Structure 1
Amino acid sequence: IALDDERWLNNESTTDEVKCCLEDIKADCVLHDGAPNVGRNWVQDAFQQNCLTLSALRLATQILTKNGIFVTKIFRSSDYCHLISVFEKLFKQVHVWKPAASRLESAEIFVVCEKYQKPAKLNPDLLDPKKVFAESTQQSVTLNPQLMLQPRAKLKKVPATGYENESVSLHKTINATDFIHSNNYLELLASAYKIALDDERWLNNESTTDEVKCCLEDIK
């Protein structure tokens, strides 16, 4: 069943129609690759994309079988961690992945959520954008950078915060020189998206292999 227009995801009757098509069958996988109409305001576009993702998740919770899979595209904006937090409450495994075909400068990233827990009663606040994204506009709390650098699976329950107050996107670039000479290198590494080789010494160093250069383009 393909929903090729964002209006279907936001239509209250869509879930009933999809259930009718599926009859008594539960879906093994729900794939969401939708995007809103893009305008000139990147902040608004990113927010609308993530709201659309939440709408797709709402539909998925209605039709997925237990241990089912939800795959979605999201934008790495200030709402990113809030979405990941919701996924982790509903699925046993959540993997964040940026495929090679996706442009490095693009804010899009893909999330594969496995083993849907299918709770008997679902908290509606988990799927309400007003509740899920409410904290995005509130003052951020600085996290321990060592915790921010750990894989999410090893974290117990870290608040979905950690953004700089002025930061809307996670696309922050830092210079290699600043990183190398900084006493707060962990904080820089935890907050950055890309490390720019701003000096010939680093660019031409024998340790700076093509693999290292590629990794520095997207250290998240």
Structure 2
Amino acid sequence: LSPQGIIVTAPTVTATLNGYLFLKNVVFRMMYNTFRRGTPAYNKLESLKKDSAALQKLYLPNLVKSLAQVDPENTRLFNQRLAEFHPRMVLNMIDDPKDADRAQRIRHSCKQFLGLDLEHLGVIYRDSLQDKALASRLPVIIYKPQSLISQAVYRIAEKIMHSATLKFDDDYDITQASDFSFQAAEEEATDDFSAKMSYVEDLIGTGALTTGELAEAIKQQQYEISHLKAENLLLKKKLVEAARQGFKI
């Protein structure tokens, strides 16, 4: 698996948060694939995992330092693999030039909280031509090769083509799921909400998200919840009415 995967995100609150959350999960997956069961670092992680809230708020660079104290050999290997991991980002659906500044703030968050060097490949502005190209069932670079969006795609593709090819060490396979990934699936699902809230705090602290944007996202979620409740009541009413008419529910 290439250590140079590309994340395509947008300057909205949800997209930014999900992109950061994905990268953090990848780093923890790398950690559990490096610190095998029975190693001192694995046991340390298991003890920290008992307090999931504290683990989520712990800066990853500080966590790595604490692991180095109990398992220096495997921690050196993890640091080597983390240094080999160079994810790249494309900021899509930009409406305002100021939105492009968010890429730098996301990069700063990844460096500060995850110890990751995130490469920025470029931005793609929102363009109505994309909708027309989709309606025509043609790639936009064929439909309008000289358009703004097509030129942005070409620039990003050129950067990818001219970048050096990197790879993980031969002994490392990030696609191999560890036992932990299956055992912790249910726990991770339970902790998702609290984890996301800690990521929100990280991103607000570095300016990647503003409190105004967060408030707007909460308002949108409240609206969606209200809409779902209304739909639920309507369906419940229909089910009750059907039962009264003799239908089996």
| TM-based fold match above 0.5 | no
**TM-score for both structures, normalised by structure 1:** 0.25
Structure number having the greater strand percentage: 1
**TM-score for both structures, normalised by structure 2:** 0.24
Larger Rg, first or second structure (1 or 2) = 2
- Ranked by relative contact order (alpha carbons within 8 Å, sequence separation 6 or more), the top structure is 2
